[in-house]
Structures are given as C-alpha cells and as structure tokens.
Structure 1
Amino acid sequence: MADMQFVLSLLIVLLLMSTGEPQGHGSLRFVGIGDWGGIPGNPFFTPLERANAVELGRVADATGLDFILSLGDHFYYSGVKDIEDFRFKVTFEQIFNHSSLLKLPWHFPELYYKLQLKIPQTSSSLTILMIDTVVLCGNTYQESQPHDPENHLDAAKQLSWIQTQLENTKSEFLVVAGHYPVWSIGHHGPTHCLVDKLRPLLKKHNVTLYLSGHDHSLQFIQEDDGSAYAVSGSGAFDDRFAPHRRSFPASWLRFSSAVNNTSGGFAYIEVSQEKMLVSYIQVDGKCVYQATLPKRKI
C-alpha cells in the first residue's frame, strides 16, 4: 500500500490542473500556483493556503479566470491513497470553495499533455505544455536535487515529446509548466537536470515562459536574451530563504518575495493579442511585481 500511495501522490499531486472555457473578454486570464498541499495533521491546511484561496476567489470575481494551473505538491507530505482519500475534502475542496472557483473543473488527462487555446476576440493563440518533472528528472525525496529518473526510457520518451511539441507549435505565446524550477534562488535552487535537458529547448524554440513551483516563494527570473522563468510555489508556505542567489547572474533576478520582502501569493497571467502580462499578487490583493513578455519570434 505504501508504494501505491506514493504512485498515486505523483499522479495527482505533481501535474493536477483545473480548467474552464475561455470567458470571451479579449484575453486569456489564468493563475499559476503550486505547493498548496496543507499539512498532514489537523486542520490539514495552513493559514496561507486559506488566504490564497480567498484571494483567488476575489480575483476570479473581479477579473475573471479562464483556468488555474496547479503546479504540484498538493497533499503534504505523502500524497493521497486513492480518489476517496479524505484529504481531497479537507485540504482542497473545503478550502478552495469560493463559488467562482467551483466552476473550474479538474482536468488531468495524462502525466504530461498539451493545451491549445485561442485568445478570445483575437487572431493569436496560446499553447501550454504541462510536463512531469519527476518522470523527467527523478524525485527529490529529502534532498534538494532530484535523483536520476526512476525509468530512463520514460524520461527519454517525455523529453522527445517535449521537443516534438516545441518544434511543431506555431502559437504566438507558449508556456511550459512543471513542478521543479529551472532557475531558483530558494531552498532547492536551480534544478540541474532541467538546466541541462530542458533549458536549451526552451531557448531554442522561444518559449514565452517556464512556470513552476517547488520552492515556496515567488520569483521572476529573466535571462539576458529574454528567456523568462516564473516560480509560484507559496501556496501554503512562505519561505524567505535565498541560499542560491549566486547560482546565476544577479541581473537575471528581477523579483523575489524573499529578497523584496513581500509575502506569499500567486502568479496571475493575462495573455492578449500582443503581449503576456505576468503579475504577482499577494494574499492581501496587492500586486507586488509585473513583467510584460512579447509574442514569440516564430
């Protein structure tokens, strides 16, 4: 049963996604939030998780949300046993219970998959690749970096799929989303496996944004060539440590909740015909950072 519990926790926790139909307001509006997995004992959620849920509901009412990308680590610390596990109720359903959020059904077709979305009232489109970074790189267990992939054939198959999708995508905006970050100054730091395997593909195919969680903070990192990386992992915990600040050039770090002394929250993203606007929203509703990303050069 322990092995089954672990497997199910990976299938559900790491790449779960909620999605609804675009609302037709001239743009796509969505949130990326990870690591909201509560705690394993009563009350099975954290104050920050509840505050994020309240603010998500407010944003959904105020601006409209087409979907939410949930970026992993959803049921701390050992996942769920099956679809009847009580943690679905006490950690997720009873917390993220705002009426506007209840309209967004869960969507999880595969361990990794593509979403193809037209931006309403425009000629532009958005492609999102949801990837499984545990299959690709291995698990972290109690360590900062993942071990080797548990199945190298599965890892190679996913990497080939990612490469094929990137090569064939003609969308004006392209997001790749997974649990582990490529770059991070937080507790885990950069994921060496992704820096080696994924980063070259993101750059080669002009991916608009790589979106992740894992480190419990908000970060926006942009390389000199414009390659952009967003960390949104403060769904339940707010980590103010930044031990990996020297792991990449200081000029790349455009924003960090730890360095800029802001609190937890989530990434709110709006994609219109000409640009992608990434905003970091605290649980008190304050926008603490914004970045604008242009259309891809195809």
Structure 2
Amino acid sequence: MRTRILPKMLNSEVEEYLQRNDIIIVPVGTVEMHGGFPLDSETVISEAYALRMAEACDGLVLTGLPYFYAGATASGRGTVQVSVRQGIDYLSAVAHSLLRQGFKRQVYVSFHGPAHMTCSPMVRDFFDETGVPILYMDLSMQLGKLAQDLFTSLDCFHAITVGAYQIMGRLQDIPLTGEFSAPTQQSCAPFNDIFGLAYQSAAIGYCFAKQSDHMPTTAIPDEKTRQELADEGQSIIEKAVAAMDMPHVTDQMRKLEQYNKDVEKTHPWMPSAYNKKES
C-alpha cells in the first residue's frame, strides 16, 4: 500500500481497502506542556504505535485527533484543554462516521494517561447504541504488561517519545535542548495519597503548579544523542507492538461480535438489540 494513514489516502484507495478488510486504528492524543519535548508528544507516540499496529493487522490509521482532555497540564499556556464530555461526544461522532463508512473493527489507542476517561465511556456507549463492539487499548498499560523487560526506567519513555517522532517522519521536531532535564519532585507530590485512590487522573481535580511537573525530560545536546534515542525508542515500540499480537486482537473482535449477536437472540432487552430494532 502507498500509505496506511487514511487522511493521506485517495478515496478510491480507501474503497479498495474496504473490499478486503474493515480495521481502523484511531490514535487519541493531546496537546499539552511536556517538558523539553513538543506539545503534541503523546499524540505522536499514539500515532506511531497505531501505524505499527495497523501494519501488523492490515488496518488503516485515522490521524489528526490531538485535542482532548489534557488534565493537570491545563496550567500550561500551550496546553489545549477540552472537557471529558466534549471529547466523548466528538469521538463518538467519529466512531459513528467510521462505522457508516464500513470500518466495523475500530481500535482506539492512546499513550496519554487520562485518555481512558474519554475512550472507555465512548466504546461502551457505542456498543449499546449500535451493537458493534469497538476496542480501547491503553498503550501505557499494554507496555507495562507486555513489555516489562523493554520499559526499564523513565529514560525508556524518553526514548519512546523520540522514536515515535522518527516513525512518523518528524524527528527534526525534537529540539536539541537540556531544558527541564533535571528531575525534581512534583509540586503536587504531597497529595499523591489521594491521587492514587482511583485510576490515574480520575480521582480528583488538580493542576500542576510548575512546568517541570510534567515532565523532566532527558537532555538531548546534539543530533547524535537524538538519533540514538530515536533508534532505541523505535525498537521498543516495534517490539511492544509485536507482543500485542494485533492479528489475534482483531480476530477476537470479529468473534466477539458473533458472540454478542448470539447473546442478543436470547436477551432482546439488551440496549444494543433494542436500539438496532428501533433504527
């Protein structure tokens, strides 16, 4: 294929693809302060993972979704903050459009910690509305579960960030800088006990007081260092994606759809069955 990134494809190329398959990977990002890295770092990480995942399972990638709930980084002047509710509604509209277009197996991915607050409610409501099971994969969770031997320290996260820009053809966007490279305790650290009472950022509202709170980033003094980080990070991403076994995941999605149809036959009061009947 010339490209797997849907916005870069011709309409005729998308139609040709849909004759043989129905998989689309949707990276959900954010634009937020990120230490010495560009504001769209976690968007680019998600996109790089999505591209390698699509290559593994013969899917397409829908890029261009960077503006969602950022969270505690809303104190940054460069952060674009969209409410959780707004993000759910917008992503739901995208999902419904993709289904109408013929993409039945939709996989939403994000490396942004709070993204689960947007993605998880959307995929559950979407199933109740349509009867079609779509999937959310939390990439940071997957990395910790499937590639613990690869992700050994925070330095690996920095390498993944640089490697993602390389995969997406944007390595030059990573600046050569030592800004924010000195690790410091987060200003909000005294509240970690209550932050941990629910999953990630979903426990209680707060914002960072200092730019260095999110996050200290490794120094990149020259192009040689940047290239070394990029190669290390790209390798981690590709090994992690291999461990995900995307052909198995997408095959399971197909089988789960049939399972759900069988359940609906004996449980016609299910929301998805009722909504399909009404429509």
Fold-level similarity (TM above 0.5): no
TM-score w.r.t. the length of structure 2 is 0.31
Select the structure that is richer in helix.
2
Higher RCO (CA < 8 A, seq sep 6+): 2
TM-score w.r.t. the length of structure 1 is 0.30
Select the structure that is richer in strand.
1
